[in-house]
Structure 1
Amino acid sequence: MASAPLVAVTGAEGFIGSHLTEALVASGHRVRAMAQYNSFSSYGWLETLAPEVLAEVEIVLGDVRDPGSVRGLVTGAETVYHLAALIAIPYSYQAPHSYVDTNVTGTLNVLEAVRHLEIPRLVHTSTSETYGTAQTVPITEDHPINTQSPYAASKAGGDRLADSYHASFETPVVTLRPFNTFGPRQSMRAVIPTVIGQVASGSREITLGDLRPTRDFTFVADTAQAFIAVGTAPADAVVGRTFNAGTGGEISVGDLVRLIGKVMEADLDVSEDEQRIRPAASEVMRLVADASRLRAATGWAPGHDLEQGLARTVEFFRDPANLARYKTDIYNI
């Protein structure tokens, strides 16, 4: 009997990466998962996966900023899922060099390893933030790139490198551009866990940034399936292309808070906190996806609506063991 195909995942210890790792194992893959090296020998969210899942996962500590780490990770893999990134937009105002090191140079290291080792498929992760505030809606992959934060600029830099490697070297790369993913294990740097975490901790006075922006929220299990869809589709359907992953729906932050209050059966009083508000020209006011290209190429479609996803996320944060991992009483930059 042939062994299960080996895939490699960068950023596997993170929010989406850990869910993707689970989903890959469930779909019959062996996973070599990179967690960022740290002196605590922490594997991040991978440590919370079920033993039967971890039995199919080889965890290695490394860093995408180091070419040797990346080469060792991807050797022998049939597909590489590149998710490692610095993600927090507010921190990118303070440490832009770090974002270039990880999101641009790290991506270059992955591309070089995939190219020279002739890996059959690389799935590169982009972000809807590269579009900036929507100029036309819904946003298709042909929407202009308009980076309004150092984070977005660094991700766009990685995207352009991926495109260039396909054009220059025929590197078999496909770019997935998820819109706002949410769900269990997400960082408190994102709005949904920020609200749910505060409520789960007993607060009814919620502090947030700007309440006006709208976002297209996709449940994390659906985003994971989008990655697998582009990672396993026939090459001629996806390689060399960029795909949006989103629901096509949008909701304002203010209305989102009200919906979370409904799901959690809590009356919430919301106030704006100035330190949570982005610089005016940096705030992306509207994002809503057109994912028809992804659907046509792979058949992918989201399996959860917003309220269903919120209910599962609330269940996660209401578990005291999970909530204890978070700092709900401070602004997590």
Structure 2
Amino acid sequence: MRILVTGGAGFIGSCFVRMALGGQAPFPVSSVTVLDALTYAGNRANLAPVAGDGRLEFVHGDIRDAARVATLLPGHDAVVHFAAESHVDRSIAGAGEFVGTNVVGTQTLLDAALRARTPVFLHVSTDEVYGSVAEGSWTEEEPLRPTSPYSASKAGSDLLALAYHSTHGLDVRVSRCSNNYGPYQFPEKVIPLFTTSLLDGGTVPLYGDGLNVRDWLHVEDHCRALFAILRDGRAGRVYNVGGGQELSNRQLTRRLLDACGAEWSSVRAVPDRKGHDLRYSVDSGRIRAELGWAPRHRFEDGLDATVAWYRENRSWWEPLTRPQSLAPG
């Protein structure tokens, strides 16, 4: 399979590329083209483990560049579309880049895929498009109720992608995942932000009362789900991908403090985020039943391994600028 990966130098995209070229895809991979604009969260170092693989081509470019995208799409068997602005607090501070990248960029890719007759377009989305759920879990049939500019822009891109299937017959498949964690995550998201701050002896910010609940999914389990969707998924189908490990932010903070050898005195309270959803939870029954996927990482083991990776790879994260005005995403 010849795959074009947008945002392939980011956290999840680079994991997908490393696994695909590392023989962990359930199908032969003949080439991977990475298209990445290398904005603040894109990092060529994320691809260092596979940089010498002759099957990898890196293209520095923006998914909104219609001419560039049009030259890249022909010849690929699939597009796996990760490229997105994804930090909620940044979207609250200014939504323009989120609409531009997440909506207009997705539309530009879809148009190019349609013209190039690309066989499969896998659009990678988020559980945040469903909004908050007090109890139970959202299935793929639930209406979308996004509450932040970020999640609204992702919901818009989801609907655009599915419309290209309904209108044009493009084989579009959509995944909606819960919160990812693992190595190589840019340190503005909560787990790497807290880990790197605590390893440096600093303090960490906890929103409000810390009772907001998120479901945690190891990035490698997420990528294995994407491989399954590429291989056996159905056109026009949405697949929820959840880790099955729900924790409040206070519970997660406690685990990170323990893993880093810190005390609760390292936690500072910060005002709650505007429009902060209380709980996300998706029902992963469809992908489990139809495609045989299930997460393999126990959260406790995965979190310990993630903290150990940051402890052992200061050379990767220390040069990165961590925004001081934003709380964790």
The TM-score, its normalising length taken from structure 1, stands at 0.90
Q: Distance in 2 between matches of 1:69 and 1:212?
A: 45
2:273 counterpart of 1:278: yes
For structure 2, the 5+ residue unaligned runs are none
For structure 1, the 5+ residue unaligned runs are none
Q: In the alignment, what sits opposite 2:44?
A: 44
Aligned pairs, how many? 318
How far 1:89 moved relative to its partner?
0.7
Q: In the alignment, what sits opposite 1:296?
A: 289
Q: 8 Å contact 2:188–2:322 — kept in the other structure?
A: no
Judge which range, 293-302 or 314-323, deviates more. Answer: 314-323
Q: In the alignment, what sits opposite 1:257?
A: 253
Q: Distance in 2 between matches of 1:306 and 1:23?
A: 20
How far 1:332 moved relative to its partner?
4.3
Q: 8 Å contact 2:188–2:323 — kept in the other structure?
A: no
Q: Distance in 2 between matches of 1:332 and 1:47?
A: 27
Q: Structure 1 residues 43, 258: CA separation in 2 closer, same or farther (over 3 Å shift)? A: closer
Q: Structure 1 residues 265, 81: CA separation in 2 closer, same or farther (over 3 Å shift)? A: same
How far 1:135 moved relative to its partner?
4.8
Trace 1:204-223 onto structure 2 (pairs within 5 A). Answer: 205-210=203-208, 211-223=210-222
Q: Distance in 2 between matches of 1:124 and 1:102?
A: 14
Please tell me the root mean square deviation across aligned C-alpha atoms, in Å. 2.0
The TM-score, its normalising length taken from structure 2, stands at 0.91
How far 1:100 moved relative to its partner?
0.9
Q: Distance in 2 between matches of 1:268 and 1:258?
A: 8
Q: In the alignment, what sits opposite 1:25?
A: 21
How far 1:300 moved relative to its partner?
1.1
Q: 8 Å contact 1:124–1:175 — kept in the other structure?
A: yes
Trace 1:69-84 onto structure 2 (pairs within 5 A). Answer: 69-84=68-83
Q: Structure 1 residues 217, 165: CA separation in 2 closer, same or farther (over 3 Å shift)? A: same
How far 1:51 moved relative to its partner?
4.1
How far 1:141 moved relative to its partner?
1.3
Q: In the alignment, what sits opposite 2:320?
A: 326
Q: Structure 1 residues 135, 254: CA separation in 2 closer, same or farther (over 3 Å shift)? A: closer
Q: Structure 1 residues 33, 329: CA separation in 2 closer, same or farther (over 3 Å shift)? A: closer
Q: Distance in 1 between matches of 2:220 and 2:86?
A: 19
Q: Structure 1 residues 37, 329: CA separation in 2 closer, same or farther (over 3 Å shift)? A: closer
Aligned partner of residue 238 in structure 1, secondary structure: coil
How far 1:326 moved relative to its partner?
3.5
Aligned partner of residue 123 in structure 1, secondary structure: strand
Trace 1:114-125 onto structure 2 (pairs within 5 A). Answer: 114-125=113-124
Q: Distance in 2 between matches of 1:71 and 1:195?
A: 40
Identity %: 31
Q: In the alignment, what sits opposite 2:92?
A: 93
How far 1:307 moved relative to its partner?
1.2
Judge which range, 211-220 or 140-149, deviates more. Answer: 140-149
Judge which range, 67-76 or 106-115, deviates more. Answer: 67-76
Q: Distance in 2 between matches of 1:34 and 1:329?
A: 25
Q: Distance in 2 between matches of 1:264 and 1:68?
A: 47
Q: Structure 1 residues 135, 115: CA separation in 2 closer, same or farther (over 3 Å shift)? A: farther
Q: In the alignment, what sits opposite 1:105?
A: 104
Deviations 1:117-175 (A, max 9, x none): 11110100111111111154122112231111011110000011011111111110000
Deviations 1:225-269 (A, max 9, x none): 111111111xxx421111111122310000011112233333332
Q: 8 Å contact 1:138–1:248 — kept in the other structure?
A: no
Q: In the alignment, what sits opposite 2:194?
A: 195
Q: Distance in 2 between matches of 1:122 and 1:327?
A: 33
Q: Structure 1 residues 328, 317: CA separation in 2 closer, same or farther (over 3 Å shift)? A: farther
- Regions of 4+ moved over 6 Å: none
How far 1:310 moved relative to its partner?
0.8
Judge which range, 294-303 or 82-91, deviates more. Answer: 294-303
Deviations 1:171-203 (A, max 9, x none): 100001011011111122211112111111123
Q: 8 Å contact 1:201–1:328 — kept in the other structure?
A: no
How far 1:308 moved relative to its partner?
1.4
